[in-house]
Every structure is written in C-alpha cells, then in structure tokens.
Amino acid sequence: MKKLKPTSMISAMVLATTLSASLSFASEYPEKSVEVVVGYSAGGGTDVMARTIATHLENYLGKDAGLVVKNYPGAGGQIGFTKVATADADGYTLGTMNLPAALALTYDRKADYSADSFTWLANFVSDPNTLVVSKESGITSVEQLIQVAQQKQGAMTVGLAALGGNDHFSAIQFAEAANIKLIHVPFKGAAMARTSIMGGHVNMGTMAFSQTVGFDNELRVLAVLSDERLPQALNIPTAKELGYDVVMGAYRGLVAPAGLPEATLKKLKVALDKLAEDPAFLEDMKKRGTPVQYNSGVAYESLAKEQNEIAKKIWQETPWK
C-alpha cells in the first residue's frame, strides 16, 4: 500500500470529521440535556411519571440526551404549563401535561396558553380519581362517608393537590351527586395533600388512584371514579355502580411547545413509540400503580380537545371560584 503523506492524511481526517459533523448536525437533535418541566412538587403522580419516562427515554434519544426533570410547583401547575408553552420550540424543553387540569386553568383565570400552545406528543397514563379516607377514620363505604358528611353539616373537608385539578372536579361532582357539602382545602401538590389525609387533618380525599398505591396501611379507597373497575384493583367498586354517576380521571402525558421543527418532532415520536413498547419501562410504570395506556399524536390531540370541552362545561355549570 502506498504510504500517505502526513499532510494529506491529516487533511483527509479533518475533512472526514467536519463532514460527519456537518452531516450529523441536522439530524442529531439531542445535543445537550433535555429539560422535562413538571408543574407539581416532587413525589406526586405526575412527577413520578416524568422521572420514570426520563430514566428510560434516555436509551432511545441518544446518549447525549440526559433528561433532567425540573419541578415548578405552585398555582395548580400553571407555572409549569406556562413554562412549557412559552419555551423555545427547539425540543430541549418538554413538559408533563395533565388533562383536564391544565386546560381548566385557562377558564378560571388569565392564562398565557391554551390547547393550541402545545405539540401533543403522547399520553401515557389514564388515572381515575378515587374517594379515599384514612384507615383510622373508620369509614368503610361510600354510604358511610355520605352519612358522616351529613352529620358534619357542611364541615367535611377534602384535601386537594390544588384548585381546578381533576381531584377538585371530582370533589365538586361527587358533592353534587351525593347532595353533600364539602370544604376544599388546597395543598402544594398531591403528596402533601395525601400526608394531611393520612394524618386526619382533612376528612377525605379524591386523589387519583396511582397516588394511593403503596399506602394500603394508611389509606382506604372507597370507590374509583372510572367507567369500569380497575384491572389492578378489582375489589374496589366504581362510584357509578354505587349509584353516583361521577367519572373523572387524570390523563398524564408529554407535550412540547407548539411549532416543533419537523425533524425534531419525528425523532421524538420515534423514541416515544419505542419507549411505549419497552418491557422494562412498562414494568416500571406498572409497579408505580400507573399501567401505561399509550396514545400519541392525533389521538392525543383529540383527547385534549375532548377534555377541554369537559372543563369548559364544568366551569360554566359550577364555577369553582
């Protein structure tokens, strides 16, 4: 083989590296860490999902993409949602999305975003709300819960993660269906509301099912607010079958700011689709009480529109503020 001159060798190498660098430039979207904005405090259901996704999505986005979960709690998640909606649409800011809570916020106050401010990437979790009390309360059925509420004559308190969230809607709708009065006490995130329910500082809760998982010794779930009983908890009745037609849940997914570049969107979608079939990820999500019900793209966007209508309707009929 003919010996190459050092200079030509070097120039070939330089050429090769610059070429590959410029070729890869357009497609290599995650060049740095991607931030996942969570509008709630650490330890709640949304936060747990974000962290589970973050750990597993790194395998599919390329090794430069460390996913960093950042919590911006407060104002019922509004701070976090606005952060995502107003971030640069470059794919380096993603956010967790909570339906219907995030869109409900756009009705009860001035918000700097709407359903059109987001690229709807994928929904991962459908998590029905529950009627839940502390084990020590001695309440064992929905019937008894209603009795206690009637005895208290409007002094029954319900601990909420925030106003305008799915747990709040559940409380409004359940109070209406059972014809009782509830006092809403908002906390800073679901974990703090849960601790207060366990400690008996508020009488009941309407938190999502996943948030009760792992607290079997402290909490008693009286009913789930879903259409059918949950496969992971077949012994718990639905409120519907007990005669209270309340169906409410949390849909938790991943969004990006609207107007994501086509290449970036494609890369993210491919990664997310792969993630949704990763057995380790699915197992992890199941372990945390939130089995994955994946739908992405158009299907997710229409779910968002549907939830938007529900929130609008509740706001018109029973404004919560």
Find, among 244, 269, 241, the residue nearest to 255 by Cα. Answer: 269
* Contact string 15-54 vs another protein (x = CB under 8 A): ------------------x-------xxx---x---x---
* Contact string 57-76 vs another protein (x = CB under 8 A): ---------x-xxxxx-xxx
* Residue located via tokens 């400690």: 199
Window 109 to 168, contacts with another protein (CB under 8 A) = 109, 112, 155, 157, 163
- How many residues bind another protein (CB under 8 A)? The answer is 41
Tokens of 42: 């650490």
* Contact string 232-261 vs another protein (x = CB under 8 A): ------------------------------
Contact 278, 57 (CB under 8 A): no
Candidates 141, 148, 177, 188: give the one binding another protein (CB under 8 A).
188
Find, among 12, 60, 83, 70, the residue nearest to 38 by Cα. Answer: 70
Candidates 59, 79, 258, 297: give the one binding another protein (CB under 8 A).
79
Helices (H), the chain: 6-27, 45-61, 78-85, 101-108, 142-152, 166-178, 190-198, 262-275, 279-287, 297-317
Q: Cα(200)–Cα(241) distance, rounded to whole angstroms? A: 28
Please measure the distance between the N-terminal and C-terminal CA atoms of the chain and give it in whole angstroms.
82
Contact 262, 247 (CB under 8 A): no
103 or 225, CB closer to another protein? Answer: 103
Instruction: Tell whether residue 101 is a contact of another protein (CB under 8 A).
Output: no
Instruction: Tell whether residue 91 is a contact of another protein (CB under 8 A).
Output: no
Interface residues with another protein (CB under 8 A) are 33, 41-43, 47, 51, 66, 68-72, 74-76, 78-79, 82, 86, 109, 112, 155, 157, 163, 183-188, 191-192, 195-196, 198-202, 214, 321
